[in-house]
Structures are given as structure tokens and as C-alpha cells.
Amino acid sequence: MEEEKSFVIKDKRAFNEKGDLKNNKSQEKKTKEKPREETPRGEKETPPLPEVNFSSLIFSLSSSAFFHLGEIEDPKTKKKEKNLPFAKQSI
């Protein structure tokens, strides 16, 4: 009879049975910080997003309401469509 191939179980937990931190070299390698990746040449980093404050919230809600009232055209269809229930919800 052929012997079945066995498998190996490796304990990758950071703590032992008592709850103490293990001092494994393999654990130290994993926890080391990876070097920061640089952006490829020719590509710029994305600028930070604008600050979110009360006036930007009001601007966003009013733009949504104008869109649903048919005052602003849909960029995909280039049509102005009214959707009063959505406009009411935005207002």
C-alpha cells in the first residue's frame, strides 16, 4: 500500500498559547514597513481633494436638485430630463 502524502501545518499566529508575543524572525520581516512606491515618470500624483465643508455640501445638493429639475443636461445623453421625486428628495 502506498503511503498518503502528508501536509505540514505552520502556525503563523503572532501570539503563543499564553497570549505572549512570539519573537520569530519571520514575524519581524512581515511587520517591517515596505518602501514607498514612487510614481512612474510622466505621471503626476493626484492632487488632494477639496475640503468638505457646509458650503460645498449646499453646492452639491443644489446641483443635484437643478439636475433633477431639468435645468442641467445629462452629460451622457445631452438631454434635460425632469425627475420631480428625486428633485424633491434633494431639496
23 or 7: which carries more pLDDT confidence? 7
**Does some domain include residue 9?**
no
**In sequence order, what DSSP letters do the residues of 8-70 get, joined into one string?**
------SB-TTSPBP--HHHHHHHSPPPPPPPPTT-PPPPPPPPP-HHHHHHHHHHHHHHHTT
82 occurs within a structural domain: yes
Q: Give this prediction's pTM.
A: 0.45
5: in domain = no
Residue 71 structural domain: 53-90
Residue 12 lies in a domain: no
> Is the residue at 71 inside a domain?
yes
Q: Which of 73, 51, 53 is nearest to 63 (CA)?
A: 73
Q: pLDDT at residue 27 above 50? A: no
Domain membership flag for residue 24? no
Residue 32 in any domain: the answer is no
Q: Tell me: the pLDDT tens digits for 55-81?
A: 999 999 999 999 999 998 888 988 999
67 occurs within a structural domain? yes
